[in-house]
Amino acid sequence: MKKVVLLILIGLLWYLAAMYQSHLLLGSSMAAVVMMLVLFLMPRIQKLGYSVSFTLPAQTMTKGTEEQLQLESRKRGLLPLAHLRYDMLMQYEGQKKPTRLRYAGGSHSNADALDLPFTPSLCGMLTVRLRKARIYDPLGIFSSGKKQSSSMRLAVLPQMNIRKQVLSKSVDLREDRPGDDPDKGPGMQGDLRQIREWQPGDRPSRIHWNLTARLQETMVREWNEETSSVRTLQLEKEPRAYTAEEADRFYEDLADDVQSVLEEGGTVRAVWKDAAGVPSDMTIRETADLESLLLRLMDSRWLWEGQS
């Protein structure tokens, strides 16, 4: 529409200049033609020194939460790029056709970090591909596109609200009392096996606070746990290709089932088999373990193993 209006104005100036034989109008119309030519050539020249790509090859997000797609743009030349548009395609595992995304952005230096808002609607593995960056002139009349070849994989997890609840139950700073062990909760009802130094992965509920204060070194209790506190969860899938919506429901249901056990202070042992029938298992004691399980299933395309 802007192009049509500009052409009409230039044509009107030429008509008036010829009708009234006005040098002023003639000069104005010629200046408008030159300006139009400059605006037309500007994005085509600027695109030669411009490129943009995703900052990270992979990222973790939460379903229904607005987060950022991080891009880095690079350009050569003194003039800033006033108007930009990024054309992208996003596609979930199990989604037949990709969905188009369009973002407006800008670059005012040689290297700019761009944070584009994005809210994933489904759980699962999502691939976002940057297809084209379109550069506009300062008035937004003419544009020129440049193909890009950058992509990023997003692991979209369900919303998990159990982390604070679990930690608040696990960490207890009360003094030990005779016959009362505040740190001995569900899943630690057996005999005390040993007291040892803290290791990465130990739960805060195992910390022996009094001994830690005396030795100035983090010490933890290790219990002979009762097997009844560990619940086995058998993961099963149907022998067919899942849609993106079905995969979303699978991950949501799995997260809900595990979180309900964690909220009660229990432990979950997830068991599943791959396409070759090889069994795998993973013990889940806290939300971080649940996130690791979901990422493992998504990254291995477990729901789609053996499917083309």
16-33 confidence digits (pLDDT tens): 777 777 777 777 778 878
pLDDT digits (tens, 9 = 90+) for 188-227: 444 556 788 888 777 776 777 767 777 888 888 776 554 4
Q: How many CA atoms lie within 13 A of 193 on its CB side?
A: 12
Q: Hey, which bits of 137-275 come out as E strands?
A: 143-157, 192-197, 219-223, 230-234, 267-273
Which tokens belong to 166? 């679990």
Task: Read off the pLDDT band of 251 (50, 70, 90).
Answer: very high
Query: Which region among 40-54, 96-110, 187-201, 264-278 has the lowest average model confidence (pLDDT)?
Result: 187-201
Supply the pLDDT for residue 154.
96
CA 209 – CA 36 distance, rounded (Å): 75
The better pLDDT of the pair 17, 158 is held by: 158
Rounded-to-integer distance, Cα 138 and Cα 83, Å: 7
- Kindly indicate the confidence band of residue 164, based on its pLDDT and cuts at 50, 70 and 90: very low
Does position 179 have pLDDT exceeding 80, yes or no?
Answer: no
Identity of the amino acid at 130: L
Gap between the Cα atoms of 232 and 307, Å rounded = 27
Residue for token digits 């008509």? Answer: 15
Collapsing DSSP states into helix, strand and coil, what is residue 27? helix
Answer yes or no: are the C-beta atoms of 118 and 69 closer than 8 Å.
yes
CA dihedral over 187, 192, 193, 194, signed as positive or negative: positive
pLDDT band at 283 (very low <50, low <70, confident <90, very high): very high
* Mean pLDDT in residue range 137-150: 89
**3 state DSSP class of 54:** strand
The single-letter DSSP state of residue 242 is P
Report pLDDT for 308: 59
* Residue 107 pLDDT grade (very low, low, confident, very high; cuts 50, 70, 90): low
Model confidence at 6, in pLDDT bands (50, 70, 90)? confident
Find residue 100's DSSP bridge partners. 89
Average pLDDT over residues 290-294: 94
Total count of residues recorded for the chain: 308
Q: Report whether pLDDT(91) > 90.
A: yes
The mean of the pLDDT values for the chain is 80
**175 pLDDT more than 50:** no
How far the first Cα of the chain sits from its last, in Å, is 46
- pLDDT band of residue 178 (cuts 50, 70, 90) is very low
Q: Give the lowest-confidence range in 57-66, 253-262, 299-308.
A: 299-308
| Cα 130 to the center of its chain, rounded Å | 15
Contact 287, 160 (CB under 8 A): yes
Confidence of residue 110 (pLDDT cuts 50, 70, 90): low
Classify 64 in phi/psi space as left (phi over 0), alpha (psi -120 to 50) or beta: left
**Range in 110-119, 170-179, 196-205 with the lowest mean pLDDT:** 170-179
Beta-carbon contacts of residue 124 (< 8 Å; ≥ 6 apart): 92, 93, 94, 156, 244, 247, 248, 251, 298
Instruction: Yes or no: say if 52 and 133 are a contact pair by the CB < 8 Å rule.
Output: yes
> pTM, whole model, 2 decimals?
0.69
For a pLDDT cut of 70, what percent of the chain falls above it?
83
Confidence of residue 113 (pLDDT cuts 50, 70, 90): confident
Model confidence at 36, in pLDDT bands (50, 70, 90)? confident
pLDDT at 191: 52
Buried-state track 88-107, b at ≥16 Cβ within 10 A, e below 16: bebbbbbbeeeeebebebeb
CA distance 171 to 167: 6
Compute the distance between CA of residue 274 and CA of residue 127 in angstroms, rounded to an integer. 23
